[in-house]
Amino acid sequence: MKIVVLDGYTENPGDLSWAGFEQLGALRVYERTAPEDTVSRIGDADVVITNKTLITKEILAACPAIRYIGILATGYNVVDVAAAKEKGIPVTNIPTYGTAAVGQFAIALLLEICHRIGHHDQAVHEGRWTQSVDFCFWDYPLIELDGKTMGIIGFGRIGQCTARIAKALGMRVLACDAQESDSGRAIGEYVSLEELLAQSDVVSLHCPLFPETEGIINKNSIAKMKDGVIILNNSRGPLIVEADLAEALNSGKVYAAGLDVVSSEPIKGDNPLLAAKNCIITPHISWAPKESRQRLMDIAVENLRAFADGKPVNVVT
């Protein structure tokens, strides 16, 4: 097999190995690929591995040697899966690799909002504690989570992982999901979206991006929330109407937001959330601990190995 990785840098900036793919065929790895270079870099490769580089209908038509597309992520909207299906090209993804990392990061965003550890650490290093007349100081309200309610929209693996950590902190967990499960009932209480919005002190998003979930956090849904609610999103950026959230943050309706994803990435300079009050934004790194990326690499290799053996797995189309 001739294998090309179009944008390998974020998955492997140098601390992992591509050896698993090298064992399966002749491998070329590019750190990044501009849209105008995609066709030439694929060339006569029959296996294409991509993370965020788009594989469109036009690219598939221009690269007739392609027999397999592997995505180094869970989401597969970067590939025209309908066009791939028409050509009989299996497209695989990595469905479960970062559950623990993403759940941990959601809680990290919440704890940062509750304690502003980064801000206060910087204040100490700038000399403010040295100069203080009191033995302590704080610049933001400090929030105890015990006894508060977390509402989780999307209660799959990551939502439930987040819930288990929240429960360990003493929080009550409400969940809203189209598919209820026994594992979910063991952790939280399934309620309607309306009830979740009304009762939650913290609303955390862990649902996939579908037409029915796009913009699920908007002016109308925010109006149904408690005053001073905290909103977390390290799932998909377009789940939130960003102008509406920025307005709610600036008015104080929403106390704070912790976001690891936005609607367009990298974030654009005119994104209204950049200037919003109490909005913590990180650059889409929930998934990125080395342990998580190693699992992703291992699964991606096994996906290709299964295809080569005639028994493809994790096929999205």
Task: Catalogue the active-site residues.
Answer: 236, 265, 284
- Report the alpha-carbon angle 6-316-181, nearest 5: 130
Query: Encoding tokens for residue 210?
Result: 């579908």
Could you tell me which of 74, 126, 120, 113 has the C-alpha nearest to residue 97? 74
DSSP string, 67-108: -EEEESSS--TTB-HHHHHHTT--EE---SS-HHHHHHHHHH
Tell me, what DSSP letter sits at residue 240?
A: B
For residue 191, count other CB atoms closer than 10 A to its CB. Answer: 16
Q: What is the dihedral of CA 80, 85, 88, 90, to 10 degrees?
A: 70
Strands 91-92 and 68-71: parallel
CA pair distance 202, 124, nearest whole angstrom? 29
Is the Cα torsion angle 144, 146, 151, 152 positive or negative in sign? positive
- Given CA atoms 162, 168, 170, 174 in this order, what sign does their dihedral have? positive
